Chain A
Amino acid sequence: MELLISPTEIEAILPAGILFLTGLVLLLVDLGGKERADSGMNPKNHLVFIGCAGSVLALMALVTGGGSVVTSLYAGAMSDDAFGRFAGALVTLALLLTTLGAGGYLSSIGQNRGEFYSLLFFGAGAMVLLCQATNLVSIFVAIETLSLSVFVLAGYTTDRRPSSEGAFKYFVLGAFSSGFLLLGMAFLYGVSGGSLALSDIAANGPQVADDILFAVGVLLMVIGFAFKVGAVPFHSWIPDVYQGAPVIAVGWMAVAVKVASFAALLRLLVAAGGGETLSRLIAAIAVVTMLLGNLAALNQTNIKRMLAYSGIAHTGYLLIPLVLGLTGTGFESGSSMLFYLAAYSVTTFAAFAVIATLSRGQDRESIDDLNGLASKHPMIAVVMTLAMLSLAGIPLTAGFVGKLMIFRDAVEGGYIYLALIGIISSVISVYYYLRPVVAMYFREATGDQHEVEHPWGLHLALALAGGAILLLGIDPQALVEFSVESMRSLLGG
């Protein structure tokens, strides 16, 4: 038996391979000696450059390659469709922005070490694989790899108690949720006649649709994913983890984990179906998640906690296309989820990157810390305002287009109540999204709180993210078409 790897297979795994390799290089470049202990204040531009080169290469590999209709690569473990590449490209873009921002931020808290970058890249490689995975085992391995890297990133600042506390909570709950995922996979494996491939599960779906084990299996897997994306009632870890973790890592976690997990969940549900019951259940989760996330965010004074609850609310919006996909109107609605993920990624990253620019020594994370920012640093304040407006869904921003697409699909699919609750909770959210804006423009600064350094990387990342928010808000057509095409490639097989 000669082991063969076809060129298509190499092309499919190339982006993730580049990311893993870059992670390894970053780890070895910053080895240093014993004296490395006090080099954490150094901006270490070379690490940022290597990281950017790696992520740009991976992005090019993602954008240029693929498109082949071969569904079964590596014996069915992964696919190379436009859907996986789209989601993978989102992850890699977030990686590029995070890497740009990491150097300046980490040196400002004195913890600029190669491990941070390599953990980012290992996690990103796993996320790209998760977006392409078409078999239960490869899904699980990818999820575990990305989770491990994110757990460590959450506890990266080991000298700060909240960081370790958040990381530990995340680890325990993450391991717990992996248990759900694994048990669900075991049920699906049993019901689908001993096959791990999603295509076989899809083929067996009609025969076993009434099988209670099949329903339980899909449900358990959905619960596992609900933990990862932070849907109510599996959201309790999010605020503590976001508050404790270094803010640039929070931006990365909030964006990339959600993109990759939603991509995998969408792929799973397209294959497995789940019907009326599951659809009703996800609709209920979506409603509670939207409302609870937005209501809990109202009273937060810590901006990281506020954005954590806002992230929970956005998970709720993102669940709506799944409901629509499961009950009849079809998974074409998934394209609005893809666009929303793109819009959410740039917006959320921009918000967290602004907090990262302000930090010196430690994170300045109270909303009061933003007081008077507009007079000292008008450009940073503009990006923050854009991010907040986009999260709230105000027109001419990316977030507006995303919400418009999701709510339009909901109305067309006959789920008017979902659209209504979504709109109501968006209106509620405007209140707390405007609080940072009010603080920046209408309050006086106290003391020296905005005497920030000027890390070039963070500012470049901010500029890119802010530009993307505006671009997607004003001229979303290209990306909308691209997400529709990607979704078709997933459905067309």
Chain B
Amino acid sequence: MTSVSYDLFALAIFAGLTVIVGAGLLALSELVGPRRRDPEKNTTYECGVPLFDSAREPFTVKFYLVAILFILFDIETVFLLPYAVVYKQLGVIGLVEMGIFLLVLAAGLLYCWRRGALEWD
């Protein structure tokens, strides 16, 4: 078996597993999941804002806080993933620099937490 077809074989197994697990989970929830249908549940985004409504609704500033925190940790991921690819080449200095980066982010998270930014009420 050449290496190319070996790679494709692995991909095929991966795709097959994905389909089986995905379909299996959907089937399971269809079979054993509870059903409580009401108008609210049947809307497209159950937890979001109404789809057809005035665009000038005021909404609470807490959403912005969540969005800002989300972006912060999104950026953390964006930096961590490329680092994971080259961490061996970067050596000890790279490890220290990422450690500093994570510590700064952790300090920010600690600050948010103690200031109560993570509580909804």
Contacts of A460 in B (CB 8 A): none
Pairwise interchain contact B111-A3, C-beta atoms closer than 8 A: no
Q: How far is the CB of A61 from chain B (nearest CB, A)?
A: 18
- The verdict on B93 contacting chain A, using a C-beta distance below 8 Å, is yes
**Stretch from A29-37, A75-83, A158-166, A203-211 contacting the other chain:** A29-37
- The verdict on A463 contacting chain B, using a C-beta distance below 8 Å, is no
Pairwise interchain contact A24-B104, C-beta atoms closer than 8 A: yes
Pairwise interchain contact B116-A34, C-beta atoms closer than 8 A: yes
- The verdict on A141 contacting chain B, using a C-beta distance below 8 Å, is no
Pairwise interchain contact B110-A31, C-beta atoms closer than 8 A: yes
Q: Which residue of B lies closest to A1 (CB)?
A: B89
Among candidates B90, B93, B94, B114, residue contacting A31 with C-beta atoms closer than 8 Å: B114
Complexed CA–CA distance, A4 and B97 (Å): 12
Pairwise interchain contact A28-B93, C-beta atoms closer than 8 A: no
Contacts of A34 in B (CB 8 A): 116
Complexed CA–CA distance, A27 and B90 (Å): 31
Pairwise interchain contact A3-B91, C-beta atoms closer than 8 A: yes
Residues of B bordering A, CB below 8 Å? 89-91, 93-94, 97, 104, 107, 110-111, 114-116
Pairwise interchain contact B91-A2, C-beta atoms closer than 8 A: yes
Binary B-proximity of A1-19 (CB < 8 A = 1, otherwise 0): 1111100000000000000
Pairwise interchain contact A33-B89, C-beta atoms closer than 8 A: no
Of A1, A3, A28, A31, most buried by chain B (CB within 10 Å of CB) is A3
Sample of 12 further A-B pairs with CB below 8 A, known A3-B91, A31-B111? A2-B89, A2-B91, A3-B93, A3-B94, A3-B97, A24-B107, A27-B107, A27-B111, A28-B111, A31-B115, A32-B114, A34-B116
* Size class of the A contact interface (CB-based, 8 Å): 10 to 19
Binary B-proximity of A120-163 (CB < 8 A = 1, otherwise 0): 00000000000000000000000000000000000000000000
Q: How far is the CB of B12 from chain A (nearest CB, A)?
A: 35
Complexed CA–CA distance, A168 and B3 (Å): 61
Complexed CA–CA distance, A33 and B90 (Å): 40
The 3 closest A-B pairs by CB, nearest first: A31-B114, A3-B90, A3-B93
Q: What are 22 A-B contacts defined by CB distance under 8 Å?
A: A1-B89, A2-B90, A3-B90, A3-B91, A3-B93, A3-B94, A3-B97, A4-B93, A5-B93, A24-B104, A24-B107, A27-B107, A27-B111, A28-B107, A28-B110, A28-B111, A31-B110, A31-B111, A31-B114, A32-B114, A33-B114, A34-B116
Binary B-proximity of A319-345 (CB < 8 A = 1, otherwise 0): 000000000000000000000000000
Contacts of A27 in B (CB 8 A): 107, 111
Complexed CA–CA distance, A32 and B111 (Å): 10
Q: How far is the CB of A163 from chain B (nearest CB, A)?
A: 19
Q: How far is the CB of B52 from chain A (nearest CB, A)?
A: 33
Contacts of A3 in B (CB 8 A): 89-91, 93-94, 97
Q: How far is the CB of A64 from chain B (nearest CB, A)?
A: 23
Q: Which residue of A lies closest to B94 (CB)?
A: A3
Complexed CA–CA distance, A31 and B113 (Å): 10
Q: Which residue of B lies closest to A24 (CB)?
A: B107
Contacts of B110 in A (CB 8 A): 28, 31
Q: How far is the CB of B100 from chain A (nearest CB, A)?
A: 9
Q: How far is the CB of B103 from chain A (nearest CB, A)?
A: 9
Contacts of B114 in A (CB 8 A): 31-33
Q: How far is the CB of B95 from chain A (nearest CB, A)?
A: 10
Q: Which residue of A lies closest to B116 (CB)?
A: A34
Q: Which residue of A lies closest to B96 (CB)?
A: A5
Q: Which residue of A lies closest to B119 (CB)?
A: A34
